[in-house]
Structure 1
Amino acid sequence: MEPDLFTAAAEDRQEKDPSSSPLAVRMRPRTLDEVVGQQHLLKPGSPLRRLVGDGDGGPAGASSVILWGPPGIGKTTLAYVVSKATNKRFVELSAITAGVKEVRAVIEGARRAAGGYGKETVLFLDEIHRFSKAQQDSLLPAVENRWVTLIAATTENPYFSIISPLLSRSLLLTLEPLTDEDLRGLLDRALTDERGLGGAVTLPEDAEAHLLRVAGGDARRALTALEAAAGAAIAKREPEITLQTVEETVDRAAVKYDRDGDQHYDVASALIKSIRGSDVDAALHYLARMIEAGEDPRFIARRLMISASEDIGLADPNALPIAVAAAQAVAMIGFPEAALTLSHATIALALAPKSNAATTAIGAALADVRNGLAGSVPPHLRDGHYKGAAKLGHAQGYVYPHDVPGGIAAQQYAPDEVRGRQYYEPTRYGAEARYADVVERVRARLKGDE
């Protein structure tokens, strides 16, 4: 089995008849200079530049490269560019469908190619995190002996999903999500380049904005949607790709939502207020609008974390851990799967009992501090871990709470200026009802009333 022969045949067909290949394939970068985004990896003298022998320092010494980042941002493209730039065979496998047998076949083919006609091989292994430890172990001899240049791609944290021996022998490159500006440049190039649409149609601003939203940071998705819309416009003999044509071809209506304008803040506000009002269905509606419009999932997750403390607090102590876990998961998986995580958290927060006691408590405390009510720390609470502290009366008379029954000592903690001020006023909703009972008893004991 020689997968590179199929690749070569496909390239030959593309050169003879470019229109036979999908637009995303035709617009695949041929050099590092054509790659969009990832500028942090493409600087002169960077490890990626040195890997292809571009710039000072010659080729990088690593025999294995791990590309870590979300889907659709160019991991396969970078592997292909490296193989072209170094004039090596390019063999692609997916860990979803391939196993040890297929890996060994590629390695054996690489050894024959190197020994037979001096051609080195780049093995691109997509979704490497899906390989078991034993399967990843099977790659080590080829990497250590440099029988192949392994370029592995993963969407999951490699420190958790890739075995240490392979990780230690690899150059780890973290790819950043593509920005709208990155994708806009890609679309512009596809519209005008002879490899792409060659100026056959134009793309107005509103249609371009919708394509960017539909793409969701995925270059392949952006080019596929552009190709479908351009084909429809050309069939209708229209000189430009209208918003209506884009909506028809991608089967998705344009959402009225500007990530930098009023709609962004209005919909985000409506989401939080619906959660605060416990209307789970309205909250899901606004969440869906934000997702469909291509909102950054991290922005949504941050708003949910704020809501968990601002509107729920101790009425449901699990609300904040759920929101934080959702934010961590979203950062790791990205869209489209992140929509499930955000839905999970939104439903939990909307249906949780509500309390703004934590919000009003810190607000009242901050107001006092800002108004100058920030007196001296009582002497018995001051630091006593230095020579001479006792002479100053610092830490003298402090009662260690663990030494008294109940663990609460009757002593003054607040400065004189705010002594007796009660900032936290718990509600009787959800789990906070228990805190309401506790705080009454604690305050009484601190005063010595019990």
Structure 2
Amino acid sequence: MDLFDRHRQEITEAEAPLAARMRPRTLDEFAGQSAIIGSGRLLRRAIQADQLSSLIFYGPPGTGKTTLARIIANTTKAHFIAINAVLAGVKEIREAIAAAQDKRGMYNQRTILFVDEVHRFNKAQQDALLPWVENGTVILIGATTENPYFEVNKALVSRSRIFQLKPLDEAGLRQIVQQALTDGDRGYGKLNVQLAQDALDHLVNVANGDARAVLNALELAVETTPPDVEGMIQITLAVAEESIQRRAVLYDKEGDAHFDTISAFIKSVRGSDPDAALYWLARMVYAGEDPRFIFRRLLILAGEDVGLADPNAIVVVNACAEAFDRVGMPEGRYPLAQATLYLATTAKSNSVMGFFDALSTVEQEREAEIPNPLRDGNRDKQGFGHGAGYLYPHAYRDHWVEQQYLPSSLQGQVFYQPSDQGYEAKIQTQVARQREAQLAALVENTAVAEVLTFSPTNSTQERWLQRTLSQVGDQLAQVRDRVFALAPPQRHHVILDVNAGSGLLTWEAVRQVPEGGVYACVQTEQDAIALQEQAAALPELQRPIVLQADLVELPQRLAQQVPGMHCDRIIGRNALLQTIQRSQTTEGSDPISLLTALADLLSSPGQLILAETMPRYTQRLYQLLERDRLGTRLYNRWVKAEEAIYQNPNDPFVNWDVAELTAWCQAAGLTPEIHLEMMTTEIRITPALFNRWFSPGSDRPSYQDHLSQSLSEAEISKIREALINALNQQQVQWSSAIAFMQAQPSASNSLNTK
């Protein structure tokens, strides 16, 4: 760059719009998007560690896509090249690739290629870029306002990590305005600008989450308002309203906003929410959506989701559509709103979907012959008997007669299932009674004629039965799925697994939060090594961060590892159970202390989800043996001795229940919701299991030790022999109770700690 180029660049930067001058230069200056660049998040760690892979930033205008790329350019040691897909072509791509190859060959330096508006590249241009991204010559960072899954080459998408940026919230926009007013070098810090509160509220509200829009409006307001006699520039509400008058709505008639908004509208109407339906309708009309398109969707909904629950629905909507064609806009909005409200408030039924069940049967089943009575008898009734036996319904009472209309192989098949909504409720009983009569007629009329034939196997039913029989499942997998179903995490969340152990919950967390972070706490070095060895197969930035610490030490260790970090989800399996077990030997290890510490680690709003096995409700061994194998007297003594194990007031490991768990949570400042679920799994009773039950215990008393408190050695031996004779190597259904706890900081505790 020569002297003239540098001078030209300095003038350009000085005369650039406020939005360009105020672009953040570091992550600390960046406002908003904490979901992807907040403390502990994957993208922030990748930028700080300069370990970026190919990325695509997707989001509406003014949310910081280009700014993040500029911040990466300021922090990375890699060579940074920026091009705009609107202006660039294959020639510019080749030049960038050549520069990247030179940097790698001469200086062993990586190259980051930033492509703004990457969706504007055509297929040939994207294909030209693909091999160089694939072999690592360049690290691609793309920015786009369009859904990359639709607008960007699938091969490029599959090799990139996609981060979705959301519109900024009000706090972020206010922070940006404040920065512009106080920055003396790039903003208006050297001017005496007085921005009224209501003017600021208007700018932030109408900007609609767009940082560029709020800065452009602020710039227009300041630059066009002369200072008063004291040199102060007064930005009043009137000035702000002139600077930004109409909210910019992101709405592309062929993009995500179009499809997402019409989807929200239809789902609101289907869900009978007239308020939401009117809101989404207003969003579409305000953005310029074609009302005829909306009417087409409403006509479809009248058939699909209302149907016979209100046969007039499709008539009303069609009449409204015709009225719209007559009056046009803007008055046409009245019939548009009327059709929407009618469908949103009427009864719903999707029984017409029975047609698609019939269509599926036609596609899958062998074509069945049309029954003789239903055939056309006008041409060959004499030769083939077509139409013979047909019963004319109008000749019978109520214009209906018990007659079969389905092919023989489909007799009894049900496609239409009337709902109990609206008008359809009136015909539900009628249809059911007619079907019963038809089935009775089928038995009476075909018992002799088909004595040598059998109905074909219902393959659909057979598959369903087989699927049901095979749903035994693994209990641990059920627990894992239940934990994540209680409070599904978002892709950018930070998750802490407080009792990772083998990693059952940890690996599922890694899959579910690819843009967030996962921290796994284990108590033993062996578990830590095992988790780290399994994680080695993952890219470094995707690996869970393993912390070896006792549960009581976990908050301190986590604060040392990532200062100031709070978790969106804290999960665990049998963390409290382990704490209770250790409470008898370790000072400060108790459930309330652990729950209090975990509550302090939660973000607002965060969720604590624990799955805790409750020994108090576990399977009893005496339930697996028939009473007569021991005799009533010994069996009753055995029952009493085993039940005493779980009623011992001095053993906290087995005597706690849901009420006590609720009290612990409340004492820790948490509001819990607890579901106790009995889970059954099939286990094999092996000699090793018998040995565990009937051998002296080490850390805790064994089953035999407990029984010896009430039974003699001879009685225990007799019980063991009876169990072995009855159950050895047998599969039994083993039930256990698991408390699924979902808790969050109570309102008062949240105010005090966050």
User: Into which bin does the TM-score normalised by the smaller protein fall?
Assistant: 0.5 to 0.7
SS in 1 for 2:422: coil
Correspondences of 1:52-67 after superposition (within 5 Å): 52=47, 54=48, 58-60=49-51, 62=53, 64-67=54-57
Q: Report deviation, 1:43.
A: 3.3
Task: Give the structure-1-normalised TM-score.
Answer: 0.57
Correspondences of 1:275-294 after superposition (within 5 Å): 287=282
Letter in 2 for 1:66: I
User: Aligned partners of 2:153, 2:4: CA distance in 1, in Å?
Assistant: 31
Q: Report deviation, 1:214.
A: 2.5
Correspondences of 1:154-303 after superposition (within 5 Å): 154-194=144-184, 195-198=186-189, 200-234=192-226, 238-252=232-246, 287=282
User: Aligned partners of 1:7, 1:50: CA distance in 2, in Å?
Assistant: 36
Letter in 2 for 1:249: S
Q: Report deviation, 1:66.
A: 1.2
Letter in 2 for 1:354: Y
Q: Report deviation, 1:407.
A: 5.0
Corresponding residue for residue 702 of structure 2: none
CA deviation map 1:8-50 (0-9, x unaligned):
7776447xxx642211111111101111111122234543334
Tell me, yes or no, if the aligned pair for 1:80 and 1:90 is still in contact at 8 Å.
no
Tell me, yes or no, if the aligned pair for 2:32 and 2:169 is still in contact at 8 Å.
yes
Q: Does 1:41 align with 2:36?
A: yes
Q: Does 1:313 align with 2:306?
A: yes
User: Aligned partners of 1:246, 1:81: CA distance in 2, in Å?
Assistant: 31
User: Aligned partners of 2:285, 2:434: CA distance in 1, in Å?
Assistant: 49
Q: Report deviation, 1:74.
A: 0.5
User: Aligned partners of 1:190, 1:156: CA distance in 2, in Å?
Assistant: 29
SS in 2 for 1:358: coil
Q: Does 1:424 align with 2:421?
A: yes
CA deviation map 1:347-373 (0-9, x unaligned):
866446935441699xxxxxxxxxxxx
Correspondences of 1:127-142 after superposition (within 5 Å): 127-142=117-132
Q: Report deviation, 1:75.
A: 0.5
SS in 1 for 2:193: coil
Q: Report deviation, 1:185.
A: 1.0
Tell me, yes or no, if the aligned pair for 1:125 and 1:150 is still in contact at 8 Å.
yes
Q: Report deviation, 1:441.
A: 5.4
Letter in 1 for 2:203: L
Tell me, yes or no, if the aligned pair for 1:89 and 1:120 is still in contact at 8 Å.
yes
Inter-CA distance 408–79: structure 2 relative to 1 (3 Å threshold): closer
Q: Which runs of 4+ in 1 moved over 6 A?
A: 5-10, 116-119, 283-286, 344-347, 401-404, 435-438
Corresponding residue for residue 342 of structure 2: 354
Going by fraction, where is strand more abundant, 1 or 2?
2
User: Aligned partners of 1:407, 1:169: CA distance in 2, in Å?
Assistant: 49
Inter-CA distance 349–202: structure 2 relative to 1 (3 Å threshold): same
Tell me, yes or no, if the aligned pair for 1:316 and 1:353 is still in contact at 8 Å.
no
Tell me, yes or no, if the aligned pair for 1:30 and 1:84 is still in contact at 8 Å.
yes
Letter in 2 for 1:59: D
CA deviation map 1:170-222 (0-9, x unaligned):
23222222112111111111111222111531322211121123212111111
User: Aligned partners of 1:26, 1:348: CA distance in 2, in Å?
Assistant: 45
Q: Report deviation, 1:118.
A: 7.5
Inter-CA distance 247–45: structure 2 relative to 1 (3 Å threshold): closer
User: Aligned partners of 2:421, 2:192: CA distance in 1, in Å?
Assistant: 66
CA deviation map 1:124-150 (0-9, x unaligned):
212222333332121133324544332
SS in 1 for 2:70: helix
Residue ranges of structure 1 left out of the alignment (5+ in a row) = 254-271, 293-300, 320-343, 362-400, 415-421, 427-434
| Larger-Rg structure | 2
Q: Does 1:445 align with 2:439?
A: no
| Root-mean-square deviation (Å) | 4.9
Tell me, yes or no, if the aligned pair for 1:408 and 1:442 is still in contact at 8 Å.
no
Q: Report deviation, 1:229.
A: 0.8
Residue ranges of structure 2 left out of the alignment (5+ in a row) = 248-267, 288-293, 308-312, 318-331, 351-405, 442-754
Inter-CA distance 289–447: structure 2 relative to 1 (3 Å threshold): closer
Corresponding residue for residue 70 of structure 1: 60
Task: Give the structure-2-normalised TM-score.
Answer: 0.36
Tell me, yes or no, if the aligned pair for 2:167 and 2:208 is still in contact at 8 Å.
no
User: Structure 1 stretch 168-177 or stretch 107-116: which is displaced more?
Assistant: 107-116
SS in 2 for 1:66: strand
Corresponding residue for residue 395 of structure 1: none
Task: Count residues in correspondence.
Answer: 320
User: Aligned partners of 1:172, 1:437: CA distance in 2, in Å?
Assistant: 52
1:125 to 112, 115, 133: 115
User: Aligned partners of 1:440, 1:81: CA distance in 2, in Å?
Assistant: 68
Tell me, yes or no, if the aligned pair for 2:113 and 2:140 is still in contact at 8 Å.
yes
